[in-house]
Amino acid sequence: MTVVPVYKQGWTMDDVHWSLFDPQKVDRTLLAAVKAAALVEYNAPDYVAYLKRVFAGEGSEIMAQLDQWGREESQHGRALGRWAEMADPAFKLEDAFARFRKGYTPPHFTSGQDGSVRGSRRGEMIARCVVESGTSSYYSAMRDAAEEPLLQEIAGRIAADEYRHYKLFYDTLHAQTEPDLGFWKKLWIAVGRVRESDDDELAYSYYCANVLPEQEALLPYNRKKYSRAASAASMTVYHRKHVQKLVQMVVKVLGANPHGWLANLAGALLWRRLSAKSA
């Protein structure tokens, strides 16, 4: 049985064993997915600013927690980006990120208005838990799928962070004084956040990370095309167990039994959907 290292909170770039890098074990499809993930993770400051508006007036503790979350997410982007630059010298994190930022900014990041687009702080935390469920399972799957030892370590460190982030937002959800939401409202928010994975964020990050600026004329951005490409690259790492863990974490947020019939049914349906998208 493979023993997976346990990575504690608070690691830095200096803690990563960069000397482990083995270029002979780099998988090109996985490399494309890592490049795209680096841009999304590196974009954390915009999310921090938005969440601070959602929790305006709630005191210094939650603000400090959001700042720390943002620093860790940005570090994930730097670590993935540095690995990608080692694996492909043509890739430059800062250049690709600048293109991504120029072309992708959700309206609620720049509106300047307080409050959540989910309708409440509870709704926002449900949506964040859905995201952290996805990232925790994704980087766990990446760690298990990667043959390159440095990427195994980086993905393992990020997966551990993302699970802690899920717990942070889960605890924040249940600390709210707002009235609790009904099951169907929670489900609606969760499903809505999952559907947002088809928007420009993932597709455009994949495009900016994997299509060089000089190739844009011949390979113009097409959301459907690059969303499909991003999904196909990401799905190469998944096994059913990773999808089931993701679903269990989401179902727990909904207030249902994470090991009950709903989780089992949702896991089967999501696995079928993801498999079809990557085909």
131 within some domain: yes
7 within some domain: no
Q: Which two tokens stand for residue 113?
A: 């208005």
Residue 210 is predicted with a pLDDT of: 96
Q: Is the dihedral of CA 228, 101, 209, 239 positive or negative?
A: negative
69 within some domain: yes
To which residue do tokens 């928010």 refer? 189
38 within some domain: yes
Q: Where are the beta strands (DSSP E) in the chain?
A: none
CA trace torsion 229, 233, 238, 239 (10° rounding) = 80
Q: What is the CATH number of the domain that holds 128?
A: 1.10.620.20
Number of domains in the chain: 1
Q: Alpha carbon of 103 to those of 99, 133, 195: distances in Å?
A: 6, 26, 20
Residue 8 is predicted with a pLDDT of: 82
244 within some domain: no
pLDDT tens, the chain, 279 aa long: 455 677 888 899 999 999 999 999 999 999 999 999 999 999 998 899 999 999 998 889 999 999 999 999 999 999 999 999 999 999 999 999 999 999 887 766 666 677 888 989 999 999 999 999 999 999 999 999 999 999 999 999 999 999 999 999 999 999 999 999 999 999 999 988 888 766 788 999 999 999 999 999 999 999 999 998 998 888 889 888 999 999 999 999 999 999 999 899 988 988 887 777 655
Residue 111 is predicted with a pLDDT of: 63
Q: How many helices, marked H, and strands, marked E, lie in the chain?
A: 12, 0
The boundaries of the domain holding residue 36 are: 23-234
